[in-house]
């Protein structure tokens, strides 16, 4: 048995728990596409996938507004501004807009490196390297 929060679509107020008649080891193994558990899980995944674009677009708008506000209030080199630039890179990558994600990662990277030093920006370097692999 898993907690209810693990068995519902996240952030949906009236979400129904997804009931799967299996233990953790077997819960992703289905006998066929007609299996009741497969139909249940597949249906919930389609709901989540269907709303993903709207959720990402909404988040992108929030991050864009935050970036403008933070850059105006604290300046373009402030860590909060750079965090928002990095978050926009993550959202661009989620949307498949990899060239734009790369621009955001590089912008954040340059700012972080200038403010914090090269060692402090290791995770951003790793995301940039992964992005370049996807672009190949």
Q: Which helix (H) or strand (E) holds 17?
A: none
User: Distance between terminal CA atoms of the chain?
Assistant: 43
Q: Which residue has the higher pLDDT, 47 or 69?
A: 69
Q: Which residue has the higher pLDDT, 83 or 59?
A: 83
pLDDT at 68: 92
Residue 72 has pLDDT above 90, yes or no: yes
* CATH level 3 topology of 4-135: 1.25.40
What pTM does this model have?
0.54
Do residues 77 and 114 lie in contact, with contact meaning Cβ atoms separated by under 8 Å? yes
Both structure tokens of 83: 């965090």
pLDDT tier at 26, thresholds 50, 70, 90: low
Do residues 45 and 23 lie in contact, with contact meaning Cβ atoms separated by under 8 Å? no
């Amino acid at each position: 048995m898993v907690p209810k929060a693990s068995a519902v679509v996240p952030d949906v107020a009236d979400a129904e728990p997804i009931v799967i008649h299996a233990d953790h080891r077997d819960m992703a193994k289905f006998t066929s596409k007609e299996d009741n558990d497969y139909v249940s899980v597949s249906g919930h995944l389609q709901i989540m996938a269907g709303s993903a674009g709207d959720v990402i677009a909404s988040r992108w708008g929030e991050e864009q507004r935050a970036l403008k506000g933070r850059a105006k209030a604290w300046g373009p080199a402030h860590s909060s501004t750079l965090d928002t630039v990095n978050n926009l890179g993550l959202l661009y990558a989620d949307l498949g807009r990899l060239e734009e994600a790369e621009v955001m990662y590089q912008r954040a990277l340059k700012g972080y490196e200038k403010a914090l030093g090269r060692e402090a920006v290791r995770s951003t370097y790793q995301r940039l390297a992964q992005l370049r692999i996807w672009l190949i």
